[in-house]
Amino acid sequence: MLTVRDVTFDVLRRHGMTTLFANPGSTEVPLLCGLPDDLSFVLALHEGSVVGMATGVAIATRRPALALLHTTAGLGNAVGAIATARVNRAPLVVIVGQQDRRHLALEPFLTGRLAGLAGDYPVWFDQPPRAQDVPGAIARAWHEAQTWRGPALVVVPMDDWPAEMDPHEVIAAPRQLIRAGRPPELRDTLGTSAAPDMRDVLAIDLHSSADVVPELAALVAEARTPVIVAGSGADSSRTWAALVALAEHLGCPVWQESFGARAGFPQDHALHAGVLPAGRAQQRAALGGHDLVLVVGAAALRHYPYQPGPLVEEGTRIAVVTDDPAEAHRSPADLAVLGPPATVCEGLLAELGVPAEAGRTWRTGERDPGVTGPGPGEPMSARHVLAALAVRLAPDTVVVEETPSSRPDLHRILPARRPLGFVSAAMGGLGFALPAAVGLRMAAPERPMVAVVGDGSAIYGVQALWSAVRYQVGALFVVLANGRYAVMDRLADMHEGGKAPWPSFEEVSLSGLARSFGCPAIRVEDHDHLLAVLDEVVPTLPTRTEPLLLDVAVVPDTVFRP
């Protein structure tokens, strides 16, 4: 079994940080004793000199250098030098020692209150929550320091170094990161002897359509069974077109990222495989048999709840394309490309020889929800409501979702057919959909706007209806009212830990609340009434200026489908 220390040394070697500048104390002894011969130790007699020497190396090489500081005293002594490194745009990785985790709660001797001690001068600061997260934090610190040109700090308790580390443990950082939009001689890749400063980045137009990343093209060309995972960052007409062309050229399936805030690919396209399941084991199975996972517009990969094991099967490589540095820096990928997804994907198509006009249009067929209305004596469920919407809403309708227990059904029955066709809250907190739908309609008045919201979610954002009325925002709010937090009930059932203590709230009337804010509302309790209302209202959505809330009584789903 490897230790955290062993894996960290491999990270240092991979990133070229083989010289450690330090004035060590007791909290650093478990790291430094028995230092491997291929790593060099340089002693300084004050922490300001430690960081100052590392700063000189970073300025000369334009690559992050490594400094090691001793808890509060060491970091405190080095703050002035850290500030200088930041202003000098010198990339540094600074490891700060800390007392043993096992008695930190008692604040033992040499405990450091380290967060914020260096003020705003670090470009990034992390205290890894587990010992096994330390190697990934140090790898990410390298990327953060190189991207933002300054010192990135990682706090490591002394008992983390000998902790065992499973070989399948995920290191949350890419092995190689490339910043797109820069010519090869300026590219900041691992293994180069010099990297540019921020002026080089600003001098390049990152939105040039001529950007080509040969390293990414080589990965894709070598893959025999690639698969694409499209994320929220791919939700634009240009990126949809590029991904359609790429998927059709490769003949590969395209999954939507789990918990995505928007759709990164037309969900009615024949190659759309669905939304990735949330569990790591289920994701691993869904992506199994593919030798390359190309993630575009998202990090790799998002899960809930926690499951152990590797992200993908052995032998599968991961590449990420994103314009979000945090997504790139935390992705355990073989290659991360930091740049506009549309631009990078267009460059990839050019490198692969795919005609520029490919993918400009995609199939938009009639929605087949696969669900009809309730049978005789059967109560109305969320699926029946979604199916009624599916056959009536125009392809350019923006659907804002906040119905956790019904979200998998919404993805399946009501697929996004245009960019911005699906919008949701990626964070997971409630209260997003109603106000977001109001703002979206204000910003895009030409798009029909429908918010599909659970009653538990709607309660958190119901005040937005007053603004919708006041500012004549003609959105349709469809509330799936089951009188409870259905997703919480299902999670409690799965937990098998006894009866959940929270009650239902069937007495809450969303239509009543809507009217109290001046918003027209209709209570719908049977399927025929629902169809009649939708037939009347949906044709008015493109030009409507008056909001309407439908308070639709549904029974909670009996099966939870995460």
- Render pLDDT for 503-553 as a digit per residue (tens, 0 to 9): 777 888 999 999 999 999 999 999 999 999 999 999 999 999 999 999 999
CA distance readout (Å), 251 to 9, 216, 227, 270, 418? 40, 18, 9, 10, 21
Whole-number Å distance between alpha carbons of 452 and 400 = 6
pLDDT for the residue numbered 362 = 61
pLDDT for the residue numbered 189 = 46
Please give the CATH architecture assigned to the domain spanning 382-553: 3-Layer(aba) Sandwich (3.40)
- Render pLDDT for 418-477 as a digit per residue (tens, 0 to 9): 999 999 998 878 899 999 999 999 999 999 999 999 998 999 999 999 999 999 999 999
Stretch among 182-191, 342-351, 486-495, 544-553 having the lowest mean pLDDT? 182-191
Assess contact for 244 and 359: CB atoms under 8 A.
Answer: yes
Whole-number Å distance between alpha carbons of 204 and 208 = 9
pLDDT for the residue numbered 506 = 82
Among candidates 237, 285, 286, which has minimal Cα distance to 265?
237
Whole-number Å distance between alpha carbons of 480 and 278 = 23
- Render pLDDT for 94-136 as a digit per residue (tens, 0 to 9): 999 999 999 988 888 888 899 999 999 999 999 999 999 999 9
Number of other CB atoms surrounding residue 272 within 10 Å:
22
Specify whether domain 2-165 bears CATH 3.40.50.300. no
Residues of the chain with CATH 3.40.50.1220: 177-352
Whole-number Å distance between alpha carbons of 96 and 116 = 13
- Render pLDDT for 275-297 as a digit per residue (tens, 0 to 9): 999 899 999 999 999 999 999 99
pLDDT at 561 over 50: no
- Render pLDDT for 166-221 as a digit per residue (tens, 0 to 9): 888 889 999 999 988 654 444 444 433 333 332 232 222 333 334 568 999 999 99
Question: Residue type at 366?
Answer: E
Whole-number Å distance between alpha carbons of 98 and 340 = 39
For tokens 């007791």, name the residue.
26
pLDDT for the residue numbered 106 = 86
CA distance readout (Å), 361 to 239, 246, 393? 12, 13, 20
Stretch among 76-85, 144-153, 399-408 having the lowest mean pLDDT? 399-408
Length of the chain in terms of residues written:
562
Whole-number Å distance between alpha carbons of 319 and 213 = 12
pLDDT at 84 over 50: yes
What is the sign of the dihedral through the CA atoms of 367, 372, 373 and 379?
A: negative
Among candidates 495, 459, 479, 485, which has minimal Cα distance to 533?
479
Single pTM value for the model: 0.88
Rounded to an integer, the average pLDDT of 5-17 is 96
186 versus 41: the higher-pLDDT residue is 41
Give burial (CB, 10 Å; 0-12/13-18/19+) of 325: middle
- Render pLDDT for 300-341 as a digit per residue (tens, 0 to 9): 999 888 888 899 999 999 999 999 999 999 999 999 999 999
pLDDT for the residue numbered 114 = 92
- Which of the listed CATH numbers 1.10.150.120, 3.40.50.360, 3.40.50.1970, 3.40.50.1220 matches domain 177-352? 3.40.50.1220
Counting residues of the chain whose pLDDT is more than 70, the rounded percentage is: 90
DSSP letter, residue 379: P
Residues of the chain with CATH 3.40.50.970: 2-165, 382-553
Rounded to an integer, the average pLDDT of 227-246 is 95
pLDDT for the residue numbered 187 = 47
